[in-house]
Every structure is written in C-alpha cells, then in structure tokens.
Chains A and B, each alone.
Chain A
Amino acid sequence: MVSAATHARAAAASPDPAKFEFFTPAEAAEVEAISSRIIPTDETPGAKEAGVVYFIDRSLVTFAKDSQKTYREGLLHVQELLAEKFPGAKRFSAATSEQQDAVIEGLSKEAEAPKARRGNRFGTNAQPFFETLRYHTIAGFLIAPDSDRRGNRDGVGWKVIGRDPEHMFQPPFGALDKDYPGWQPAAAEKK
C-alpha cells in the first residue's frame, strides 16, 4: 500500500498540472472564474493561485463524485443567468468582474444559505450549485498543502489566513501566552 505521504509527493511531482480528470478545458475556465470571485486575487493570492480548479476537478472524481451533475447543470445555469442579466454575454470567464459579481450575487440568493453552524460535515450532496462550489472553493484554498488533492498550491491559502506552514509547533503560540507568568492559584495572584 502506498502511504499518503508518498502519494502526495508523487502528486506534487506530477509533470502536467494542467491535466483535468473531469472538466473539459472550457468548463475548467468557467469554474476557475467563478471560484475566483468567491476568493478573489488582490494584493494576496486567491483561488486561482491556489489551484482551486484542479482541486475541484479531482474532488469530482473522488470524494465529491455525487456532485458531478450539480456542476454540469450549475455551469449551464450560470450561463443562462449571465445571458439574462447581460444579453449577448456568453461565457462567465469572459465577462467583466462587475458582471461576474452580479451573476454570483443572483446565484447565491436563489437558495437559502445553510445555517452557520459548526460545519464539521458539510454534505455537498443535494446542496445547490452555489453552496457546493463555495464549499469546494474554500476547501481547495485551505486543504493541507501536503495532501494529494491538488489544492492550496504552495500553501498560499494558509499564508492568507495566517496559518504557519509547519507541521508542529512549540509554545508560545500567540500574543497572550507569550508573557504568561505560569500558573498561580487565584489567591496568590490577587496580592
């Protein structure tokens, strides 16, 4: 059996990152454009730099197989929305960012957002396209970079949220434990 680490190394060394396992190149361009509006590139990297589209592509042939149809239908629906709002516009990826945001705004409001809760287990199955794509975009941005899922390329997602890349840490961890004097019983400290 190949260990996860070996597999990850092999995946990282894969010579042709542009190869898609599920999407056609045209679909991939659309997915990349949509996910880039969910986590845009500004002064720091976004979904595009993290390789989110490659992550989603692999997801759709692995843990998220059940969402294939959601994507195929969802992408068509995005084209319809785009044409509705901006007659003549055919491809999301070719639209201006203002047009793109208007389409996503519409798409995100079609179904009620799932309640914010401890989202330990997000069932992408049977979720509307926007919610599925949103979850996958976030996952592709923030997945452990040493996994074999093709997301969070070069750890850029973790860099954005301030998660250090190390695999283990030593205290002090943050701003307040740094100067902690050590445990004192309450009475002693009050003095």
Chain B
Amino acid sequence: MTAPRVQYQTTDEVDFVIIGSGAAGGILAKELSTNGFRVVVLEQGPYLHESDFSHDELKILQEDLLTNHPKLQPNTFRKTPDEKAKPQRAVVYGRAVGGTSNHFTANFWRFHEIDFIERSKVGPIPGATFSDWPITYADLEPYYTKVEWEVGVSGLAGASPFDPPRSKPYPMPPLPVKSSGVLFERAARKLGLNPFPAPMAILSQPRAGRSACINCGFCLGFGCEVKAKSSSLVSMIPIAEKTGRCEIRPNSYVHKIELDARGRAVGAVYFDEKKNVHLQKAKAVIVSANGAETPRLLLLSASKQFPNGLANSSGYVGKNLMLNSGGISLGLFDERLNDYKGFAVSRILHDFYELDPQKVGFYGGGGLDARFDMTPINFAAGGGLPPDAPRWGKKFKDAIAHNFTRTVEIFSHGTSLPKEENSFSLDPELKDAWGLPALRMTYKDHADDIKLAKWLNEYGLQILDAAGAKKKWTYPIEEQQFAVHLLGTCRMGNDPKTSVINSDHRTHDVKNVFLCDGSSFVTSGRGQPTMTIEALAFRAADRITALAKRGEINA
C-alpha cells in the first residue's frame, strides 16, 4: 500500500530542511513537497503510529510516550531575570512525528479580527510589549479555511454571533453534544449569553481515509487510535511522504544551524538516535520546533557572526513569551452525565472575547468551554475531586465512585500580554542528556492577565450555579509556572529592531532561515493557538514557495 519512501543523503542539498514535524512543520512539509520541492523533516522524537497508541494512562502521565522527557531534557524556571532558575518541569510539548498535534484537546478557534490589531485599538499597556501584527485577519482567512478543509475541523458556521467572517462553511457538522455541553448551553442562555457548538479538529464524519471519532474518551494527552483527531501525523505527513520528495527523519535532534562565510544557512546539524552528529545540507532552513525549542535552537546556533544567537540582532529571540491565561472551575451534578465518553469539548462561548477595559478595569478577553477531559487515574489522583474531599479510605472511595460520572469542568481561556522579561533562554549550568544547555523559562504573568483569569473563572462558577451544580469549586488562580502554549518568542513584525521574522516568516537577519510556529505570534489570541499556528503555516508555505520560484530564497 505504501510507496517506498524517499531517503536523502545528508550530503544531498535538498531545497528545504524543516525542523519539527508538528502543527506547523507537518503542514509546511506537505505544502512544499506537493509544490515540487525536495524536503527533509528532522523530528527529535520517534515515528509512532495508531498501533502505538493505547488507553494506558501511565504511558502518557509517567512515561511521556508522546512528549518531551524531563530526565532527558530538564528545564529550569524562575519568575524574574534577577533570580537564579531552579530545576523544575516547566514545559510540556509533543516530541514525536506530529508533535503536539498528536495529543492536543483539538479546540480549533480562529483568531478574530481584533487579535491582529488590538494594540491600535486599545493603545499601549504599561509593562507590556503589546503590538499589532504585520498581517490581518483578512490575510489569514483563506488559510483558516484551508485548515478546516484539509486538516479536518468539525463545526457549525454562523452559530456564534461573534464569529469573524468566513469564506466557506465547515466541511463537517459539529461533533455530538455531551451532557456537559447541554447543561452549559442551557445555563449560558439563562444568563443571556451565546453558547455554540465547539469547532474541533476531530472528524465527525469519515474523511480522507480516516475514521470519524469513536468517542473512546482517551483524548487530551493521548494519540488517536483511529486517526479521527486531525494531527499532522495523520492529515499532512502521509500526503507529504506520498509525493516521493519528502523524507521524515525521526530521532533527529537538531542543535545547530550551520552557516557559510557569507552568513547564509547551509543546513542543520543534528544528533541521530545513537548520538552521532550529522549535517543535513539544504538551500534553506525552516524552524518549526515550537515556541520553546525554536528560540533555543537559534540561541544554540550562536557563532562569531551572530554572537547573541542566530537571527537575534533585535535581541528578541526567546522574549515576549505568552502562555495564555485562564482557569478551571468544576461542578458536581446529581445526574449521571458520563462525560468521560467522547472528546473533551462540545460547547463554548465567545461573549467575553473583547472585554471593555474601561468597564472591567483591565485589558483582556477570552472564551469559556464546558468539558470533562480527565481520564480515570488523572481524575482520582489529580484534580477531579473537590478540595475538601478525603484522600484515602472509604470516604475517598465513595467520592470517586460517585463523582467520576457527575463532574464537569468549565475552562476559561484568555489573553496573555507579552512582556520582554518573559522568555525562554539557555540555562547557564544545567545540561540535557546530549550535553546541551537546558531550556530555562522566565515568567511572571502581567497583572492584567491574572485579573482576567479571575474574572473569567468567576463567570465559570456562575454558569455552574445557573446549571444547577450541587457543589462547585475552583483551582486558585496563581502565577503560571508551567507552559503548554508557547507563544511569541520569535515574533513577526516589519521592524527588524523589534521583531525576529517578517510577514513571510523569513528572519530579518538570515535570508534563507524561516521560522514558523507559536513563536511567530505577536499577540496570544484567546487561548487556542493551534488553529492559528496551522493557518500561518499554510500561508508561510505560499510565501516561501513564491520566493523560491522567483529565485529569491538564497540570492
């Protein structure tokens, strides 16, 4: 069934080497290879398939089957640049072919017009490097549509009065409603709000040789066993490989972009599985390694020509990190909701997408969703029970027995303001298992982000009340020290002094190095970045193709 895969020699100068095979890298690989280019994708993680995925929670929670491993790749964390960072797991991202798109929740919200021009509308905010994007919603709209149709998104066009304009409806109806969705919808309407079916990157109907969702209930954190979740692994990479021009090379950990004497990239240097070092030659390098590893790779690639890190004349590589703010409130109901069945989210609302700073007293906006995304161990051992629940003995057992089928979470997702001090950088002491400087995270939420999270979370509790929850509680809103949304660390902009890439995703400093992933973001959106990462990747592929066809990549 499968055609023999192409294999390039490292000495073959291919057109593009792409670092990372996730949400962005997978799309770039598919687009560029179908456009006729020769592509090598270097992925640090293994090449896994549906048969490797299962419902074994410990493979996910303890063994990091799909994610970066804290022992091999430790992190350090500090709140502010004047502190010494301490070893602590700070970042979780996908580390396998398909990247984080293998295990995400699959909430696929488009950004709205406001997300691209909010700085102009709101004005400057003290303590934040708040900026407009160099592109607008209209520039990205065709590519959002491409994501929905080519990657596969289920949803209902026109269901939300707040939706931005769209050129085409969704290719598939929404996924079925869950009991959490029904109670959320009823309660939100009681409060005068506008709940609607969640757009999800999970197939509600069979499509392109992939199964519709079978509602197995092991979704967030897990790889999909039936290809229903629209990861790059199942949607894009098979098409790229079928061109016969794209090689996916797993277990390839890139640690340097190699330059020639004129300061142009000649390829990517990586460790193979046995820690042997290779240089894959290429006419251009595209880094889609995620908002943590992309800046880290540029910093690791410092040289005589680029002493502060590659493409870092602005000093902005790794800076302006945004994680998205938000909170979780939980409610316990009388009825057996059985929300453990199915995907996570079936209803959301966007009524608070743009809050008026004059009215609420802070900048920000966001959305709410109703879900239950906890698997059994995670529920009972982690955060599924109310804080006053007993932790062992008969009463503990009674609590998990009663609550597992009757608990609902309301998630709030919102903006993060960019701050220059919030960053990824190289730890000066700690090393990873390859002897490379570990990833260091510096993060302290902007005060407005905390206010927003509290405000949205309060609303989550009101919805639970209106829904008739018998008991409700919330996790305390605290300053974040743990990241899964990795945004803004090589931001896009027209001014080389305050941005790392231009609107073609080309670095201002090195003509044949392009960056495309969450690091490209200028603002954080409202808490669901992957849809926009993917739209950017489709657009970047068009821009890069046009440059290459005009012979301008390495001129």
Contact = CB atoms under 8 A, between A and B. Distances in A.
A174 B346 CA distance: 14
Interface string A33-48: 0000111101010100
A175 B179 contact: yes
Interface string B332-367: 000111111110000000000000000000000000
**Which interface residue of A39, A108, A189 has the most chain B CB atoms within 10 A?**
A39
Nearest to B54: A4
A146 B54 CA distance: 9
Contact of A142 (B335, B377, B392): B377
Given A116-B387, A143-B57, A173 B392 contact: no
Contact of A46 (B70, B379, B397): B397
Interface in A57-87: 63-64
A10 interface: no
Interface stretch (A15-23, A24-32, A88-96, A159-167): A159-167
B270 interface: no
Interface stretch (B234-242, B398-406, B543-551): B398-406
B62 interface: yes
B56 A4 contact: yes
A39 to B, nearest CB: 5
A26 to B, nearest CB: 23
Interface of A: 3-5, 37-40, 42, 44, 46, 63-64, 101, 104, 108, 113, 116-124, 134-135, 138-139, 141-144, 146-147, 149, 157-158, 160-164, 167-177, 180, 183, 185-186, 189
B433 to A, nearest CB: 16
B221 A174 contact: no
Nearest to A38: B392
Interface in B17-56: 51-52, 54-56
In the complex, which of the residues A64, A120, A160 has the most CB atoms of chain B within 10 Å of its own CB atom?
A120
B383 A162 contact: no
Interface of B: 51-52, 54-58, 61-63, 70, 89, 92, 156, 159, 174, 176-179, 181-183, 189, 194, 197, 214-218, 221, 328, 335-342, 374, 376-383, 385, 387, 391-394, 396-397, 400-401, 404-405, 475
B96 to A, nearest CB: 15
B174 A121 contact: no
15 contacts: A44-B401, A63-B63, A108-B391, A116-B382, A119-B383, A122-B62, A142-B380, A143-B377, A144-B54, A161-B376, A161-B405, A169-B341, A169-B342, A173-B178, A173-B338
A139 B475 contact: no
B182 A104 contact: no
A56 to B, nearest CB: 12
Given A63-B63, A173-B342, A117 B383 contact: yes
A37 to B, nearest CB: 7
A162 B216 contact: no
B216 A119 contact: no
B548 to A, nearest CB: 39
A180 B377 contact: no
A121 B89 contact: yes
A142 B377 CA distance: 6
A42 B216 CA distance: 30
A77 to B, nearest CB: 17
Contacts of A168: 214-216
B392 A162 contact: no
Nearest to A173: B341
Given A113-B391, A169-B216, A176 B183 contact: yes
A146 B53 CA distance: 13
A46 to B, nearest CB: 7
Contacts of A180: 177, 182
Most buried by B among A37, A104, A171: A171
A177 B382 contact: no
A138 B379 CA distance: 10
Contacts of A113: 391
A64 B404 contact: no
Contacts of A141: 380
B61 A121 contact: yes
B408 to A, nearest CB: 10
Given A118-B328, A144-B54, 13 more contacts: A63-B63, A104-B392, A116-B387, A120-B61, A138-B380, A139-B377, A141-B380, A143-B58, A144-B218, A160-B397, A171-B177, A173-B178, A173-B338
A45 B392 CA distance: 15
A118 B404 contact: no
A138 B342 contact: no
A75 B77 CA distance: 34
B3 to A, nearest CB: 23
B214 A139 contact: no
Contact of A170 (B215, B339, B396): B215
Contacts of A164: 338, 341
Contact of A139 (B54, B381, B401): B381
Given A171-B342, A180-B182, A147 B56 contact: yes
Contacts of B341: 164, 169, 171, 173-174
B55 A174 contact: no
B376 A157 contact: yes
Contacts of A147: 54-56, 58
B395 to A, nearest CB: 10
A108 B400 CA distance: 19
A186 B188 CA distance: 10
A146 B57 CA distance: 11
A167 B56 contact: no
Contacts of B475: 116-118
The 7 A-B residue pairs whose C-beta atoms are closest, nearest first, are A119-B382, A175-B335, A174-B338, A168-B214, A176-B179, A142-B376, A174-B179
A134 B189 CA distance: 42
A137 to B, nearest CB: 8
Given A160-B397, A161-B404, A135 B381 contact: yes
Given A163-B404, A176-B335, A39 B378 contact: no
A32 to B, nearest CB: 15
Given A161-B405, A173-B178, A174-B339, A143 B56 contact: yes
Contacts of B218: 144
